[in-house]
Amino acid sequence: MRLVSTLLVLAVAGDLRAQEVKRDIPYVPKGHERQVLDVHYAKDGKNLPVVFWVHGGGWQAGDKKDVQIKPKMFAEKGFVFVAPNYRLLPAVDMATIVRDVAKALRWTHDHAAEFGGDPKRVLVMGHSAGAQLAALICTDDRYLKAEKLSLDIVKGCVPVDGDTYDVPAIIATAEARWKAHGFPPAKFGHREKFGNDPAKHKDFSAVTHVAKDKHIPPFLLLYVSGHPDVSAQAVRFGNVLKEAGLPVTLFGARETTHGKINADLGLPDDPATKALFEFLDKALKK
């Protein structure tokens, strides 16, 4: 039996607004133990934009509780923060994972108002594997359509340090590197994770689904500028969005790492956080 717990925390914002969190809410009736989410919200909130945050972990690990200071930071800025879990590889396949994220987003749309959120102003974000899932949900509208939603509800998408917006490209890059250096291939690398099928690799790539007139939201691509793979993927995805005439901003964070860019998001002196809120200010005005 799942227990939905409520924890009251005092935010250290200027108004000391009370922040609450309800944990382990099922987004699928009688679903799997990982088909649950947490909602962080202000008790007195109303019609606030909603951040839907998808955790990373290589599609094999990770948890919705691994959100560092983000819930507190977003609450102070006037947002509801939703963090779902989803089922993981290898117990399920990649399509099932994406469908879980879409189902969690459907639940968020249906129930946001109960927590002071605006269901028509959702911002989809995620780190690492979560960046790929966020980007795909916001470009391949089939997953939301299956949940009787459209991309109209998504006002912005912020993938953070993803390396799989173009899955065939990262597979080719990794395998060329192994070959050049005489390394053994990964036993469960991107090729296997995404279905060991070139058609599936392409289909799980956000770049494949970018097109005009699909209501694809504005994108902010945050990435570690010193890492060649995530930098190349961000530029590749950004160029595809630009070529389609869609709004996109790229921000390469310096002197950071894959884990640190995620952990630091929300710190007042963090450059990526500044870029994030500049993006959100513009996205929410449209």
Which phi and psi (to 5°) does residue 171 adopt?
A: -65, -45
86, 88, 91, 96 alpha-carbon torsion, rounded to 10°: 60
| CATH architecture under which domain 6-166+205-285 falls | 3-Layer(aba) Sandwich (3.40)
Predicted confidence band of residue 12 (pLDDT cuts 50, 70, 90): very low
Predicted confidence band of residue 19 (pLDDT cuts 50, 70, 90): confident
Distance CA 212, CA 206 (A): 14
Predicted confidence band of residue 177 (pLDDT cuts 50, 70, 90): very high
What is the C-alpha radius of gyration for the chain, rounded to an integer number of angstroms?
A: 18
Which amino acid, residue 179?
K
The per-residue pLDDT for range 26-62, each reduced to its tens digit, is 999 999 999 999 999 998 899 999 999 999 999 999 9
Residue 14 has pLDDT above 50, yes or no: no
* Domain boundaries along the sequence of the chain: 6-166+205-285
Give residue 57's region: left, alpha or beta (phi > 0; psi -120 to 50): left
The per-residue pLDDT for range 186-240, each reduced to its tens digit, is 999 999 999 999 999 999 999 999 999 999 999 999 999 999 999 999 999 999 9
Rounded to an integer, the average pLDDT of 140-164 is 98
Q: Give the model's pLDDT for residue 18.
A: 73
Residue 244 has pLDDT above 60, yes or no: yes
SS3 244: coil
Reported pTM: 0.94
Strand partners of residue 160 = 127, 222
Q: Give the model's pLDDT for residue 45.
A: 92
SS3 93: coil
How many other C-beta atoms lie within 10 A of the C-beta of residue 219?
27
Distance CA 219, CA 138 (A): 9
Look-up: residue for tokens 């879990």?
85
Rounded to an integer, the average pLDDT of 156-174 is 98
- CA angle centred on 32, ends 6 and 187, rounded to 5°: 115
Residue 1 has pLDDT above 80, yes or no: no
SS3 228: helix
Higher local confidence (pLDDT), 112 or 286: 112
Predicted confidence band of residue 273 (pLDDT cuts 50, 70, 90): very high
Q: Nearest CA to 165 among 93, 79, 212, 223?
A: 223
Residues in the chain: 286
The per-residue pLDDT for range 102-113, each reduced to its tens digit, is 999 999 999 999
Q: Give the model's pLDDT for residue 17.
A: 55
Higher local confidence (pLDDT), 256 or 19: 256
> pLDDT averaged over the chain?
94
Which amino acid, residue 216?
I
Give residue 189's region: left, alpha or beta (phi > 0; psi -120 to 50): beta
Q: In what order do the strands lie in the sheet with 18-26?
A: 6-10, 18-26, 36-42, 80-84, 48-54, 117-127, 154-160, 219-224, 248-253
Share of the chain above pLDDT 70, in %: 94
> Contact 157/134 with Cβ under 8 angstroms?
yes
